[in-house]
Structure 1
Amino acid sequence: MMGSRIAAASLLLLLGLVTAFAQTSAPGQACEAKNATNCQDCLKNVTCLWCITNKRCITYPVKTILPPHALCPLYDARWGLCWMNFQTLIITLSVFGGILIIAFLVCLFCCCKCGNSGSKRTEAKIDKQENKTKTKQEERRAEMKQRHDNIRTKYGLSGKNPYSKF
């Protein structure tokens, strides 16, 4: 089910791109006028489909996405390239699309996993730095308290505060 959706989506994308960028013959020219020619002449116009069994050039049935079997079997249909049948083209595009999706998901999974481990390392580093800073700050406070106590004893202020009663 998923493979057929990918195949249909990749085929639609390919059809749109090829139609938009590779139009080589006059747009008003009908494919059926090239029935007496060969595959290369037929496929110069991207809207055409060449059927090997009856050697006909057919306008591609865009509404049905894939050409119906009654019109031309997929194995005998040629579109875009004369040496590759339509069935092989669809399978190739499906496999290529599947590989791209799998590669994207693997990259996404790896990046998320690596990103989490990186943030854990960063958090550990920040915590270590915070602990170091707190330790230094506590040492400074202890030193300042010791100095203040020394100054109080030097000037005789270490006794009980006379104003504590109030």
Structure 2
Amino acid sequence: MRNLSGCLSKIPGVRACQVILACFSLPLLALCPDPPLKLCQMVAGHDWVVHAKVESVQLLKDSDDMEGVAGWLYHLSVRKVFRGAARTKSLVVLSQNTTSRVNLDIGGEYFVFASKAPGEILETGNRCDDYSGARYQPQLAQQIQACVQGMSRSP
């Protein structure tokens, strides 16, 4: 990667270098036609916003999918509710097997943005943003809290 990044300053066709860098960048991200949502848009656009620890993951199989995977059910232990039912201690959220899926590790602590999907299940992911599946950081918790407080002040 170091050799490729040097080409940005030395080759007149910078765009060609950027394409090469994009091709070698992993992991592959979702194809997003619109710019990513801002944090307060994410908070306002979801029924649930929580800081939670992943207790377990359940694989949902799909024989019609090339990988055989329909999605994952994440069983979460809720640490803090920013938006949603305040006394909730646990949640189960679905992340469908799409290019914008959310991948969470067992034992990891994350900010989870979820909304009701058909059948009363909560779904996370399937959006282009920089926050879905973000690991817990105190600074981000403060920013989310500020978004929630800003929503309560809006008419």
**Bigger Rg, which one:** 1
Task: Report 1 or 2 for greater relative contact order, CA contacts < 8 Å, sequence distance ≥ 6.
Answer: 2
Q: Report the TM-score when normalising by structure 2.
A: 0.24
Which of the pair is proportionally richer in strand?
2
Q: Report the TM-score when normalising by structure 1.
A: 0.23
